[in-house]
Every structure is written in structure tokens, then in C-alpha cells.
Amino acid sequence: MAQASLGSLRLYGVAAVESGQAISLAEGTTLVHYRALAAVVEPSPYSVSTLEDNDVSKYVAVLEQAHAHSAILPAPPGTVFRSESTLTRWLELHYFTLTEALSVVEGHAA
């Protein structure tokens, strides 16, 4: 069974945001910056999550709010990283793929 971790983060998506440009793109979330990317996150227990209707509604609302400010690549609903450092490492590893994907969706309607 997975243990709850105090520093774990639920990932909603990855946006094209210059470092330090914004603190948040959606209510109740924060950003984890890496170069020209930012992960839209909120604190969450590190455990297997079952998504309820209200969780999916919140997921959609966060993505809509973020999309109003920037191009965003949605994460699979319920994605949780153990720590900010783990998420930052993931952003670093996938930086070029994520920036290419964001350049494709930039300027397109949701």
C-alpha cells in the first residue's frame, strides 16, 4: 500500500510559462517552474486515487482556468508525484518533448 507523503503533488498539466512569470494559473493551484515550463499542481496525498465526479469536474475547471492564461498539456487525471524534486526531474527529462508538444497546441482552442 502506498504511504501518504506530505510533499506530494497532484499534477493537472504542464504549461508554457516563463520562470517567475506567474504564481498560479488556476485557483487553488501553484506552479513548479522548470525553464520555460510550469507544472500546474496542488498538494495531494501520495496514494492511488479513485476519481469521483467532483474530482473530474475540478480537473476540468483547473485546466480551463489555466488555458485562459497559457497553452497547457493536460496530465492524466489523478497523476501524483511523490515530491517537488521528483516532478522537477520529470520536467527536466521530458523538457524538449513537452516544449515541442506545447508549440503544437499553442493558439488552438480547447
| 63-87 tens-digit pLDDT | 999 999 889 999 999 999 999 999 9
**What pLDDT band is residue 2 in, cutting at 50, 70 and 90?**
very low
pLDDT of residue 54: 85
Pull the grid cell for residue 71. Answer: 497553452
| Structural domain contains residue 2 | no
Domain count, the chain: 1
What's the first-to-final CA gap in the chain, in angstroms? 36
Identify the domain containing residue 51 by its residue range.
9-105
**What pLDDT band is residue 108 in, cutting at 50, 70 and 90?**
low
| Structural domain contains residue 26 | yes
| Structural domain contains residue 4 | no
| Structural domain contains residue 86 | yes
| pLDDT for 92 beyond 90 | yes
8 Å CB contact between 102 and 71: yes
Query: In whole angstroms, what is the distance from residue 66 CA to residue 57 CA?
Result: 14
8 Å CB contact between 5 and 45: yes
Amino acid identity of residue 43, one-letter, is P
8 Å CB contact between 82 and 7: yes
**What pLDDT band is residue 23 in, cutting at 50, 70 and 90?**
confident
